[in-house]
A and B are shown apart, each in its own frame.
Chain A
Amino acid sequence: MIRLALWILSALILGGLVHLSTVLLLPSLATQDAYARVAAVAPVNSVIPIPAPTPEKAIMPFMDPAFTVSVCRYDLSRGPLKFSVPISQAYTSVSFYTRSDVAYYAINDRAAGRRVIELDLMTAAQRADLPDTEEVTRADRLIVTSPTRAGLIVIRALTPEPGGIPAARAALAAAQCRAQ
């Protein structure tokens, strides 16, 4: 009897380990995560418009249909990236995601406080290599540090009315995401 209880106990402990390891490993093993879905349509280091979600097809689930979206799939292994986007008439936001879809930074038009959201994206190592010149420490220069070499920049412009979509598309088409 005690022997059976011990077997059950060890099975449960082992089961707990299986549970924890599958939960922790799943993000690195997933093949249909948001990054993989975007990677299938977007080349590296360029801004690509993402089609609006429809009932039949959406590149990702739970996309907000009130937004016009563009995305830049970045790779910093060849050096830092310069990113800029003119803000459209309505709300515009820029969100940064790591290779494993973790949102690590987001900024909106009001926080940027200018007509253009402009920033430098680099890894922590590239940031450390920057010389401390005045150009780098300038107060209005925005430097974002990416925890991973690859990731996604998602640009969203609010278009509550379908009539506003062409203007938002034009603003997002002027977005730039290129190696320095």
Chain B
Amino acid sequence: MRLLFGILFALATAAMVGLGTTWIALTQGLAYGGVTIGAWTAWPKNGTAGIDPYARAMIARNGELPVGSGDGVSFYARTDDAGQPLDGRCDVLVSGITPPARFWTMTLYDPEGLLVANSMRRHGFTSQEIVRKADGNFDIAIAPRARPGNWLPTGGIERYQLVLRLYDTPVGMATRSGREAPMPAISRRACQ
């Protein structure tokens, strides 16, 4: 009787622990081997045959195709530099410069990876269309209402994420710090 109870307890706990940790690992984006610079994190290995099992499981689950490493690298940001989640009801300023690349794109997605509807039909900026300041730096105002300059509308959604993709770039697996790859700062201003 005691043995049976023990086995049942062990199996139930094992299933809970095992499936629970898998669920957390795949939904919270806990893949290892990431390169974090400021609020941005990239997993350059995901674009190679050396992709780790967690990242493989994650992309199999969400249906994404990672950018191949001979093509480019993508940096994801879910929070600002202070660690607060990106909120579409707030004014957020993305400013600075980007690492060397033939060109880059910055895109705003909802948590599921879909574009966000807005009246401008603007979902991001590319290095070719962005308006820069005299010193080469740029400011992107991410806000629910229109802003002068480079305005990226949020549609007022609660949570969003930014993806900065660098194409034909030396940034990759060997990159370790922000000195080699200067990423733009993300700071929250006023909230509605």
Given A24-B53, A103-B47: A93 and B17 within 8 A (CB)?
A: no
Given A15-B16, A60-B63, A107-B70: A65 and B123 within 8 A (CB)?
A: yes
Contact partner of A55 among B18, B25, B114, CB < 8 A? B114
In the complex the two chains form, is B124's CB within 8 Å of A105's CB? no
Given A55-B116, A66-B105: A95 and B67 within 8 A (CB)?
A: yes
Partner-binding segment picked from B92-100, B143-151, B160-168, B176-184: B160-168
* Interface range on chain B (Cβ under 8 Å from partner): 35 or more
A11, A13, A36, A111, most chain B CB atoms within 10 A: A11
In the complex the two chains form, is A15's CB within 8 Å of B61's CB? no
In the complex the two chains form, is B103's CB within 8 Å of A158's CB? yes
Which A residues are in CB contact (< 8 Å) with B59? 33-34, 101
Partner-binding segment picked from B5-13, B34-42, B81-89, B132-140: B5-13
- Interface presence of B191 (CB below 8 A): no
In the complex the two chains form, is A23's CB within 8 Å of B62's CB? no
18 A-B pairs besides A66-B124, A93-B70 with CB distance below 8 A are A14-B13, A15-B14, A18-B17, A19-B19, A22-B22, A55-B116, A60-B65, A61-B114, A62-B113, A93-B72, A95-B65, A101-B66, A103-B69, A108-B71, A108-B167, A110-B102, A147-B49, A154-B65
Per-residue contact bits, chain B 54-83, to A (CB 8 Å; 1 contact, 0 not): 101101111111111111101000000000
B interface with A by C-beta (< 8 Å) = 6, 9-11, 13-19, 21-22, 25-26, 46-49, 51, 53-54, 56-57, 59-72, 74, 102-103, 105, 107, 109, 112-117, 123-124, 126, 128-129, 163, 165, 167-168
In the complex the two chains form, is B70's CB within 8 Å of A7's CB? no
Tell me the minimal C-beta distance from A56 to chain B in angstroms: 8
Q: Which 10 A-B pairs have the closest CB atoms?
A: A18-B18, A61-B113, A15-B17, A106-B68, A106-B70, A14-B14, A11-B13, A95-B68, A55-B117, A30-B60
Q: Interface residues of B: mostly helix, strand, loop or mixed?
A: mixed
Question: Closest chain B residue to A154 by CB distance?
Answer: B65
Which B residues are in CB contact (< 8 Å) with A102? 49, 51, 56
Question: Closest chain B residue to A58 by CB distance?
Answer: B114
